[in-house]
Amino acid sequence: MNAASDDTARKGLRKWWATPPRSGMQRLIFPWEYLHARAFGIVRIAGGLVGVTAGFICLAYAVYGWAAFFLVIGTLNLGGGYWFLTIARSQPPRA
């Protein structure tokens, strides 16, 4: 009846996903990960190092299929962690 003039269609998942405002590829990151990009970047790099280490251990035992799996997963995590840290570095400081 006498409701405030706001767009009720944006309340819900779309509004939740749009906060905080991001652009480009950063929209692929979940909002709570974007808010804590530095912590998630460090965790991803640590997981990537564990994956790469497991890959090298598998290479030492000549288990090439598992080595390839762990090396690919570890490398992707290292790249993702680096990406998160560059996003965290480019964010303005919180007030």
pLDDT at 78: 97
Nearest residue to 56 via CA among 45, 67, 65, 66: 67
Cis peptide before 20 (omega within 30 of 0): yes
Give the three-class secondary structure for 43: helix
Quick check: 27 pLDDT over 90? no
Q: Where are the domains of the chain?
A: 38-95
Q: How many residues does the chain have?
A: 95
Q: Can you read off the two tokens belonging to residue 33? A: 């990960």
pLDDT at 5: 52
Q: pLDDT tens digits, residue range 31-82?
A: 777 778 899 999 999 999 999 999 999 999 999 999 999 999 999 999 999 9
Distance CA 23, CA 37 (A): 15
